[in-house]
């Protein structure tokens, strides 16, 4: 059974760095790509970036300067790091396998 679970701090202070982990089961990170998508509270979905099955990454051009995605295949984990957080980065962050199977999401609030 395919499962993705996001984890990370619920609260981040402005200008700090967000670090999130997506832990997967039921499939291999070397066989499928994992994407990060976020959703500001009450708003729409935004694709953030992708970790391809072969280790290549790609990023939303609007976030590229602040964003980094990496992985540890031995731990079945994909990581997201985004720096210089502001209040409009508040929302729910999802990881998804090939945009088909989704995690439940993790809520992140940026506030002092």
Partner 1 sequence: DIVMTQSPFSLAVSEGEMVTINCKSSQSLLSSGNQKNYLAWYQQKPGQSPKLLIYYASTRQSGVPDRFIGSGSGTDFTLTISDVQAEDLADYYCLQHYSYYTFGAGTKLELK
Binding positions for partner 1, rule: CB under 8 A: 35, 37, 44-47, 50, 58, 60-61, 94, 99-100, 102-105
Instruction: Give whichever of 1 and 112 is closer to partner 1, judged by the CB atom.
Output: 1
Q: CB-side exposure of 27: number of CA atoms within 13 Å?
A: 19
**Dihedral of CA 47/48/53/57: which sign?**
positive
* Smaller CB separation from partner 1, 12 or 37: 37
Residue 57: CB minimum distance to partner 1, A:
12
Minimum distance from CB of 105 to partner 1 (Å)? 6
Q: How far apart are CA 109 and CA 81, in angstroms?
A: 15
Q: Residue 88 or 112: which CB sits closer to partner 1?
A: 88
C-beta of 85: minimal distance to partner 1 in Å? 21
Q: Which residues pair with 109 in a beta bridge?
A: 11
Closer by beta carbon to partner 1, 12 or else 105: 105
């Amino acid at each position: 059974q395919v499962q993705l679970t996001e984890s990370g701090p619920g609260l981040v202070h402005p200008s700090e760095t967000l670090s999130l982990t997506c832990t997967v089961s039921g499939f291999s990170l070397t066989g499928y790509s994992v994407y990060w998508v976020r959703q500001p509270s009450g708003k729409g979905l935004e694709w953030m970036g992708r970790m391809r099955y072969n280790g290549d990454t790609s990023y939303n051009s609007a976030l590229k300067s602040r964003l980094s995605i990496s992985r540890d295949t031995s731990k079945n984990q994909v990581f997201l790091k985004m720096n210089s957080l502001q209040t409009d980065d508040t929302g729910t962050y999802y990881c998804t396998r090939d945009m088909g199977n989704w995690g439940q999401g993790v809520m992140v609030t940026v506030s002092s």
